[in-house]
Amino acid sequence: MPTLLLDRNAVSDLLDMAEVIRAVEEAFIAWAEGKASMPPKSYLVVGKGDFRAMPAALPGAAGVKWVNVHTQNPARGLPTVIGILILSDPETAYPLAVMDATEITAYRTAAASAIASKFLARRDSRTLGIIGAGKQARYQILAQAEVFDIRQINVFDRSQTAVETLIDSLPDFTVRACSAEQAAASDIVCTLTTSRTPVVMRAWVAPGTHINAVGADAAGKQELEPAILKDAMVVVDDLRQASAAGEINVPVTAGLYSADDVYASLGEIITGRKPGRTDDSVITVFDSTGVAIEDVAVARIIYEKARATGGYPTMDLV
């Protein structure tokens, strides 16, 4: 059984947001139940950006994602983020597939936010605020729409072009450009910037808001005024990664917030070990750093669908 080789188009064709949400949720459950193995991701800083090695093992699937952030790439006609994933059989370590993981990263990141919203946002949430209209924005909207009946989407970005491109890419949704403050006044807010200073202020956030803080994924990055965290029920995907590289990292380093103040992990919430939202007036924040179990879980689906479909290239690599 040779190794499947799945390029970007193949992976894109096989991805389905509802399936990804289900797989990511199952991965968090497996992890919470001690059935997964996942060290924190490793960062390698190089001159023009950084690389991250993200290994994880789940029941039935193991793998490593190798992904980067090179912000000068677009000027060279290359994407900022390029991901590749090796999926292995945990029983034998045989490489089942090598696949593009750029689109997987986009889907699973959005899926994690949707799962967090399902457990943490108010059930009657109808408006979605998007702060940062880069590529991830569209995926976040599609994922949130899988779990909520979103009627209105309020988008802010410093770049008017980015906002217009996003609106044009979503003809089936009611999307309007607005200020950051207006976007933050939505029922569910997704922050998707690369900011190193707060882009959402405490005063803008109404009681009962749920925020998916997605942008901060490396030391020094932050999107929320720390007072929001102080007043919120904070849920993380991985406390080790969040403390070092997630939304809470800058306030923790500055002594403005303690990792001990984090309410729960997403796995604890999904498995019911700790309740999600129980009060319509509390502010909830999901600090999403992105974890390798998400990638491996999605890669496993892609692999299984590709095998079932057939016709993809293979190679006796090892």
Interacting residue ranges for its own copies, rule: CB under 8 A: 5, 7-8, 37-39, 42-49, 51, 53-57, 62-64, 66, 68, 70, 73, 76, 78-79, 82-84, 86, 88, 90-95, 98-100, 102, 313, 315-318
- Active site residues per annotation: 65
Strands (DSSP E) contained in 83-218 are 83-88, 95-100, 127-131, 152-156, 175-177, 188-191, 210-213
Alpha-carbon distance 97 to 251, whole Å? Answer: 40
Q: Which is nearer to its own copies, 51 or 173 (CB)?
A: 51
Which residues are within 8 A (CB) of 243 and not within 5 positions of it... i.e. 6 or more apart? 249, 252, 259
Alpha-carbon distance 20 to 297, whole Å? Answer: 8
Q: Hey, which residues does 315 pair with through a beta bridge?
A: 3
Q: Which is nearer to its own copies, 18 or 44 (CB)?
A: 44
Question: What is the torsion angle, in degrees rounded to the nearest 10, for the CA atoms of residue 224, residue 245, residue 147 and residue 177?
Answer: 40
In the complex, minimum distance from the CB of residue 280 to its own copies, in angstroms, rounded to a whole number = 41
Q: Which is nearer to its own copies, 98 or 130 (CB)?
A: 98
In the complex, minimum distance from the CB of residue 36 to its own copies, in angstroms, rounded to a whole number = 9
In the complex, minimum distance from the CB of residue 294 to its own copies, in angstroms, rounded to a whole number = 15
Q: Which is nearer to its own copies, 69 or 145 (CB)?
A: 69
Amino acid letter, 49: G
- Say if residues 241 and 291 touch (Cβ distance below 8 Å): yes
Q: Which is nearer to its own copies, 38 or 116 (CB)?
A: 38
Strands laid side by side in the 232-236 sheet: 175-177, 152-156, 127-131, 188-191, 210-213, 283-287, 232-236, 264-265
- Say if residues 59 and 31 touch (Cβ distance below 8 Å): no
Residue with tokens 């604890």: 268
37 DSSP assignment: B
In the complex, minimum distance from the CB of residue 230 to its own copies, in angstroms, rounded to a whole number = 32
In total, the chain counts a number of residues equal to: 318
Q: How far is CA 89 from CA 3, 64, 79, 317, in A?
A: 11, 12, 30, 14
Q: Which is nearer to its own copies, 272 or 313 (CB)?
A: 313
In the complex, minimum distance from the CB of residue 158 to its own copies, in angstroms, rounded to a whole number = 25
Amino acid letter, 192: L
In the complex, minimum distance from the CB of residue 63 to its own copies, in angstroms, rounded to a whole number = 8
